[in-house]
């Protein structure tokens, strides 16, 4: 991402009370946002989704058309967008081990996330984590990010996927991250910390509940440092 894109993304997220730090990471230069963050933004923007239309329904594949709309604050009008969500096992939806496959749920999430990004003006600047499996914050993508930056591999700095996690190690990682967040003395310092590959590795290692607690702590630290948590507003613009 360029500095200009970073600024545009940060401003739009801030208008919905969401910081860049903790919500965004990069996969080989591509900016990716968490699905949960998009759900919170959709609620803030009061996005209304229409009934989904099933385009294709197979045992291993689902294609769903989703529409959404949002009220425009400037003229009282309504902006509408639509998008397609696809999930095909073995092609753009990978399932491993005993993991259950939910092709319709994944297709719906992908379609809704795309509609949200269009309605808030971030389509083309961000991708949802569910857009493709390669956007997940996995070990391989994080290792590649570190190689691109000339940094040492994760094994030197973080315990990501070294084996079954236990409560003590997870709590130690959470405590280390919280301490680093508390020690940050500026908004940029918090943002840089949360976007750092090593931090993304630690977050991916944590259980979802602990991960959310760390992100909430980072957001609280940003607000304490003067981050502009402005009131949410509807946005217009091209799709």
64-86 confidence digits (pLDDT tens): 999 999 998 777 789 999 999 99
What's the token pair of residue 215?
A: 């992100």
Give every CB contact of residue 94 below 8 A, 6+ residues apart in sequence: 133
Is residue 41's pLDDT more than 60? Answer: yes
Q: List residues bridging with 37 in a β-sheet.
A: none
Q: What is the pTM of this model?
A: 0.67
Is residue 95's pLDDT more than 90? Answer: no
Is residue 37's pLDDT more than 70? Answer: yes
Task: Round to whole Å and give the CA distance between 190 and 187.
Answer: 5
* Counts for the chain of helices (H) and strands (E), in that order: 8, 7
Neighbours of 217 (CB within 10 A): 17
Give pLDDT tens digits for 202-228: 888 888 788 889 988 998 989 898 887
Residue indicated by tokens 């967040």:
181
Instruction: Give the SS3 label for residue 130.
Output: coil
Ramachandran category for residue 132: left, alpha or beta (phi over 0 → left; psi -120 to 50 → alpha):
beta
- CB of 200 closer than 8 Å to CB of 25: yes
φ, ψ at 24 (rounded to 5°) = -120, 140
- CB of 120 closer than 8 Å to CB of 8: no
Task: Round to whole Å and give the CA distance between 170 and 136.
Answer: 20
Average pLDDT over the chain, rounded to an integer: 80
Give pLDDT tens digits for 117-174: 999 999 988 899 888 665 655 555 455 544 544 555 554 444 433 333 444 588 888 8
Closest by Cα among 158, 178, 170 to 206: 170
Is residue 108's pLDDT more than 60? Answer: yes
Task: Round to whole Å and give the CA distance between 66 and 79.
Answer: 14
- CB of 1 closer than 8 Å to CB of 29: yes
Task: Round to whole Å and give the CA distance between 137 and 192.
Answer: 17
């Amino acid at each position: 991402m360029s500095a200009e894109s970073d600024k545009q993304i940060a401003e739009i997220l801030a208008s919905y009370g969401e910081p860049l730090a903790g919500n965004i990471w990069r996969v080989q230069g591509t900016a990716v946002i968490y699905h949960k963050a998009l759900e919170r933004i959709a609620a803030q923007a009061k996005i209304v989704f229409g009934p989904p239309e099933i385009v294709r329904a197979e045992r291993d594949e689902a294609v769903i058309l989703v529409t959404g709309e949002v009220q425009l604050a400037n003229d009282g009008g309504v902006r509408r967008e639509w998008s397609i969500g696809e999930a095909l096992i073995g092609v753009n939806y990978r399932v491993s081990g005993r993991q259950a496959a939910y092709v319709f749920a994944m297709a719906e999430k992908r379609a809704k996330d795309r509609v949200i990004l269009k309605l808030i003006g971030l389509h083309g600047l961000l991708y949802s984590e569910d857009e493709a499996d390669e956007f997940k914050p996995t070990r391989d993508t994080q290792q590649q990010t570190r190689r691109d930056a000339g940094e040492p591999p994760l094994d030197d700095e973080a315990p990501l996927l070294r084996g079954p996690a236990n409560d003590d190690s997870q709590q130690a990682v959470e405590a280390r991250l919280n301490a680093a967040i508390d020690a940050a003395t500026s908004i940029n310092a918090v943002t840089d910390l949360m976007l750092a590959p090593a931090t993304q590795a630690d977050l991916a290692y944590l259980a979802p509940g602990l991960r959310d607690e760390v992100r909430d702590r980072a957001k609280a630290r940003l607000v304490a440092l003067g981050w502009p948590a402005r009131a949410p507003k509807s946005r217009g613009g091209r799709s």
